[in-house]
Chains A and B, each alone.
Chain A
Amino acid sequence: MVDWLTTSWLWLTRNWLYIAVPLVIFLATYVVGLWVRRIVYRAFNRWMVGKWEGGQLIIHTTRTPFIYWFLILGAFIAIQVSKLNSSAKIFADKILASLFVFSLTWVVVSLSTQILKLYIGKVPRLQPSETLIVNAVRIAIAVVGALILLDVWGAPTTPIILLLAAAILIAALAFRDVLANFFSGFQLAQGEQIKVGDFIKLESGESGYVTDVTWRNTQVRALDGNLILVPNSRLVQSTVINYGRPLKKATRPFRFYTRLYLKELTGLKASNLVELVNMLKEVPDSVIYYHTHHFLEEYHYLTPEPANDFALWVSDELGDEVIGEKLASIDTFDFPTISALRARIEGVIRDYLSKKPDGRTAREGREFHFIKSVSFIMPTPYVAHDLREFIEVLRQVSINSLAYHIFEARLRLKKGVSDFAIWIEECLDDKDLAEKLAYLDPYNYTLEGLRSTMIQVIEKRIK
């Protein structure tokens, strides 16, 4: 032990310069590093004040590694001036270069993560993709760092680069839809063609307000309340009608209802006008409603539609064209209630009977059978918050829904006018449009004709 210490001391006294010089250089570099960091960061901080909030991130992230890099620099210079043999120097250089690459990679990853998060936080449409974007950038930087490290140690990087290129190509092919949506989303955002709040109509016929545009898809709130997710790539490639910003919102949304009906047989039948008028007095309102309205739905495709059942029966089965014409010409639109309509039909027949009491009798099997309409009313998922949505729903709902809001609400539910006119006046405060719709005589149109006429009237209004 004593011998070893003696030998070492002798070697140090002879070669102390070989150690002292590199050590001094190393320490001097460290001191210079501290001094440079102080000046540079102070100047940088002063220069960045109020210019860019990312400046503070750079300072915080690089402040400590900055000193490490000077330490690595000091160690490098020290090794170069030392008396180590060349192979030891090369090995030491590689270790230092690796440490530098590693720390630099770590700093770049950390810094880019923070900067990305800073910016993604400001762009709502990017927020759902934050993790994806940050991880993609981290992986890309780490891969570059790893490749440099491999290069430092002399490992062949070309096959790895080729492998990586192939993997990227495969990933690009596998995720081509995602990429296509990503770039389409970018295209949409750049062009500002579709924005949140716009009312759009897709090629498939669906329509609604845009509630969000992400990098992958565009979200549309459909008229039935469902959320439609349209891939951005499809949106860019297809024809989309953009009606623009929302119209005036109603104070209360309009919920579309539909009405289906079941025919209930009363078992009552009339063979002649006297029996007909006597039974007309007794039957419930739902019978009068059925015989004056079912043609509108069952024969809605005909122009002109046949008149009420009473007129048709007396003409066809009793062969009395005169009273048939009188009954056919009763304008249902003139009557606000079924009772009033019933009284008019009764009046026409009684008046006729007073002048011509000997009417004909229908053949057996061709009597007039009184049928009752039992209505089943149910809400549909369709809701309109403004006239744009209202028009689009109007295009889609069944004729049963139209019949409910136009005929049934007006006469059977005793509202006097259609539900549409009431909503437009009360909830959109548009008396003029409400009146235009209220004055449309629905009995003069087929249901499809009425649908398109109402749409035209409203469209003209919102233009």
Chain B
Amino acid sequence: MQNEIHLQSRIRLQDYEPIVGRSCLEELRMLTEKSSGKVVQIINSTFIGGGVAEILEHMVPLLNQLGVDVRWNVINGSDEFFEVTKKFHNALHGKHEKISPRDFALFSEVTERNLEEMSFYGDIVFVHDPQPVGLIAKKKEIGKKWVWRCHIDVSSPDRKVWRFLRGFIVDYDAAVFSAPNFAQQLPIRQFLITPSIDPLSDKNKELDSGTIDTVLAKYGLVSDKPMITQISRFDRLKDPLGVIEAFEMVRKSIDCQLVLAGGTATDDPESEEVLEEVRKRVEENPDIHVLLVPPESDIEINALQRAATIIIQKSLKEGFGLTISEALWKAKPVVASAVGGIPLQVKNKFTGLLCYTVEGAAYALKQLLSNPEYANWLGQNGKEHVKQNFLITGHLKDYLLMFLSLDQTSDVIYL
């Protein structure tokens, strides 16, 4: 079938056993036995690029290894269509976007075309994000179970766009959100399933000190003083200028350095502008390093996170913010804004420190730099927290449970 991808992973399910334990994998296998025989058809808008594709790329082969028949398809769409859905995406995030009736009409046209062209064979049709949401129209014809997975922060969406999408969403059997505050008043079941990181991926696997030193040398960094690092693309919502401000407050009393590392997005013309602003702002401060990291530099990102003394994520708005889980997995103390899905990962004073302002961020950074034992305790807790809640194996378990729950209504289900 066109637009279907067959993935094979170099990572085997049993490779996770030393990390998550034998019992975790045993439970996954038991769950799979209970849900065997069903075909799960995943539909989204792209095989490559973006967080959703990255997660699916790891998850689908693992689900297949478990014995679940999961297949992955993507919809077809023109550039114009994806421009519209990008506007939808921003509007759902709460950003003001001008969306015309023509845009809505285009969305419906492309949806109609995909409805005609696509083959729907899954016992469970698992649709990700707003782009393919309209495919639910097929449910009237073929039945089956339909689930909509929302990866976006819809806690304060543009009402017009949400109303439009809601018309489709209510026909699904269930919706899945990444954080409790993304939940909406909907007549269908809503599940909370958080995204996850893969501990064996290049971005998160263990690195030797040689690799870390090589990356530091490449970017002209030295590890002779504490390093505060924010890994994010250059976007105003990640508040890089706020991070610099907080760092400057800390630097007055503690000798340390700041690393702002990230990329620019080709679909976001503003990112180049932000990068320039940041570079201009720090040009006279030798303790601040602005690094433009090319895409596909997972090992470099990994090395920069592992070299950091503290990881900061001072976003003004965030979806789930998986960079937090990545940092916590490396047992790094984290200072992060209490936005989006971050509070799920950082339980204040237990697995990191939350902040709301520049001053709050500076205070938290100073606390951690001055109390390395406390920082280490938070980092270790953070690692355990990620192990328990945000690893890909837990994500697999949640999806398997969600598939099973579609046929059940009780709160206590005996399998």
Q: By the criterion CB–CB under 8 Å, are A367 and B183 in contact?
A: no
Indicate whether A377 sits within 8 Å of B412 (C-beta atoms), given known contacts A263-B191, A299-B350: yes
Q: By the criterion CB–CB under 8 Å, are A300 and B388 in contact?
A: yes
- Within B384-407, which residues are at the interface with A (CB < 8 Å)? 384-385, 388-389, 397-398, 401-402, 404-405
In the complex formed, the residue of A with least CB distance to B34 is: A378
Q: By the criterion CB–CB under 8 Å, are B191 and A265 in contact?
A: yes
The 0/1 profile, CB within 8 Å of A marked 1, for residues 162-186 of chain B is 0000000000000001001101111
In the complex formed, the residue of A with least CB distance to B409 is: A374
Contact of B401 among A262, A269, A364, A366 (CB under 8 A): A262
Shortest distance in angstroms between B237's beta carbon and chain A's nearest beta carbon? 14
Q: By the criterion CB–CB under 8 Å, are B189 and A264 in contact?
A: yes
Q: By the criterion CB–CB under 8 Å, are A376 and B388 in contact?
A: no
Q: How many residues of A contact B (CB 8 A)?
A: 42
Contact of A284 among B21, B22, B402, B411 (CB under 8 A): B411
Q: How many residues of B contact A (CB 8 A)?
A: 44
**A463-B175 Cα distance, complex, nearest whole Å:** 54
Contacts of A261 in B (CB 8 A): 401
Indicate whether A375 sits within 8 Å of B388 (C-beta atoms), given known contacts A265-B190, A398-B24: no
Indicate whether A260 sits within 8 Å of B401 (C-beta atoms), given known contacts A365-B339, A380-B26: yes
**Residue A339 at the chain B interface, CB threshold 8 Å:** no
Contacts of B30 in A (CB 8 A): 258, 378, 380
The 0/1 profile, CB within 8 Å of A marked 1, for residues 20-63 of chain B is 01111011001100100000000000000000000000000000
Indicate whether A376 sits within 8 Å of B189 (C-beta atoms), given known contacts A365-B156, A367-B181, A396-B23: no
Indicate whether A258 sits within 8 Å of B156 (C-beta atoms), given known contacts A264-B192, A375-B411: no
Q: By the criterion CB–CB under 8 Å, are A264 and B190 in contact?
A: yes
Q: By the criterion CB–CB under 8 Å, are B183 and A376 in contact?
A: no
**A398-B31 Cα distance, complex, nearest whole Å:** 14
**Residue A316 at the chain B interface, CB threshold 8 Å:** yes
Contact of B411 among A267, A299, A373 (CB under 8 A): A373
**A369-B415 Cα distance, complex, nearest whole Å:** 28
**Residue B413 at the chain A interface, CB threshold 8 Å:** yes
In the complex formed, the residue of A with least CB distance to B385 is: A299
Contact of B192 among A260, A263, A376 (CB under 8 A): A263
Contacts of B26 in A (CB 8 A): 380, 398
Shortest distance in angstroms between A304's beta carbon and chain B's nearest beta carbon? 10
Q: By the criterion CB–CB under 8 Å, are A375 and B381 in contact?
A: no
Contacts of A401 in B (CB 8 A): 23
Contacts of A398 in B (CB 8 A): 21, 23-24, 26-27
**A260-B350 Cα distance, complex, nearest whole Å:** 24
Indicate whether A377 sits within 8 Å of B413 (C-beta atoms), given known contacts A265-B180, A364-B156: yes
In the complex formed, the residue of A with least CB distance to B184 is: A267
Indicate whether A369 sits within 8 Å of B181 (C-beta atoms), given known contacts A364-B156, A374-B413: yes
Q: By the criterion CB–CB under 8 Å, are B381 and A302 in contact?
A: yes
Q: By the criterion CB–CB under 8 Å, are B411 and A286 in contact?
A: yes
**A105-B175 Cα distance, complex, nearest whole Å:** 84
In the complex formed, the residue of B with least CB distance to A401 is: B23
Q: By the criterion CB–CB under 8 Å, are B350 and A297 in contact?
A: no
**A375-B27 Cα distance, complex, nearest whole Å:** 14
Contacts of A400 in B (CB 8 A): 23, 27
Contacts of B31 in A (CB 8 A): 260, 376, 378
**Residue A371 at the chain B interface, CB threshold 8 Å:** yes
Contacts of A373 in B (CB 8 A): 411
Shortest distance in angstroms between A153's beta carbon and chain B's nearest beta carbon? 63
**A353-B34 Cα distance, complex, nearest whole Å:** 47
Shortest distance in angstroms between B347's beta carbon and chain A's nearest beta carbon? 7
Contacts of B402 in A (CB 8 A): 262
Contacts of A285 in B (CB 8 A): 411
Contacts of B339 in A (CB 8 A): 365
Besides A299-B350, A367-B181, 16 other A-B contacts (C-beta < 8 A): A263-B193, A264-B189, A265-B190, A267-B185, A285-B411, A297-B388, A299-B347, A301-B384, A369-B180, A371-B192, A372-B411, A374-B411, A375-B413, A377-B413, A398-B24, A398-B26
What are the 7 A-B residue pairs with the smallest beta carbon separation, nearest first? A369-B180, A398-B23, A265-B183, A263-B192, A286-B411, A301-B384, A265-B190
Chain A residues with a Cβ under 8 A of chain B? 258, 260-267, 269, 284-286, 297-302, 306, 316, 364-367, 369, 371-378, 380, 396-398, 400-401, 412-413
Chain B residues with a Cβ under 8 A of chain A? 21-24, 26-27, 30-31, 34, 155-156, 177, 180-181, 183-186, 189-193, 338-339, 347-348, 350, 381, 384-385, 388-389, 397-398, 401-402, 404-405, 411-415
